[in-house]
Structure 1
Amino acid sequence: MPDGTKRADIRPGLPVSIVLKKDQRTGALTEGVVKDILTKSPYHSRGIKVRLTDGQIGRVRLIRSPG
């Protein structure tokens, strides 16, 4: 299962679990659907930064299977 460090694995409409900036210490995950991909580079060791459809921004930790 992709871990969210490669930009090519992520696309709008994909259900993901992200870590918000405020939750980086605890590692608490927030679930949502990708609206925009904010990281420009093809790879990021801590996860690709995305904006969810509800406006929250964080780094992808887990790509969930649709449905």
Structure 2
Amino acid sequence: MAGNGKIRSDVKPGLEVDIVLKQDQRTGKTTRGIVKDLLTNSPQHPHGIKVRLQDGQVGRVQNIIGPVSL
């Protein structure tokens, strides 16, 4: 269930994803976390769907890792 995070219907709360935080956009450094909220309303976005992670960090999805492994 890997995806690139540019299509909103692919991104769901509870998925593990890699995001790029606003301050990391120049370097492209990614942060991994679990999606809490989807912040992009459009069906797709060229730079990735904006999400809030469970720890409160906000960024655009670069990779969908998949369902959280327990």
TM-score range, shorter chain: over 0.9
TM-score (norm 1): 0.97
Counterpart amino acid of residue 33 in structure 1 = I
Give the structure with the higher percent strand: 2
Give the alignment's Cα RMSD to 1 decimal: 0.7
CA shift for structure 1 position 65: 2.5
Counterpart amino acid of residue 22 in structure 2 = K
CA shift for structure 1 position 33: 0.1
Structure 2's unaligned 5+ residue stretches are none
CA shift for structure 1 position 38: 0.1
In structure 2, how many angstroms separate the alpha carbons of the residues matched to 1:53 and 1:65? 15
Q: Deviations over 1:10-44 (max 9, x none)?
A: 10000000000000000000000000000000000
In structure 2, how many angstroms separate the alpha carbons of the residues matched to 1:26 and 1:55? 21
Residue 66 (structure 2) aligns with: 65
Stretches of 4+ moved more than 4 A in 1? Answer: none
Residue 13 (structure 2) aligns with: 12
Structure 1's unaligned 5+ residue stretches are none
Please show how residues 1-67 of structure 1 align to structure 2 within 5 Å: 1-66=2-67, 67=69
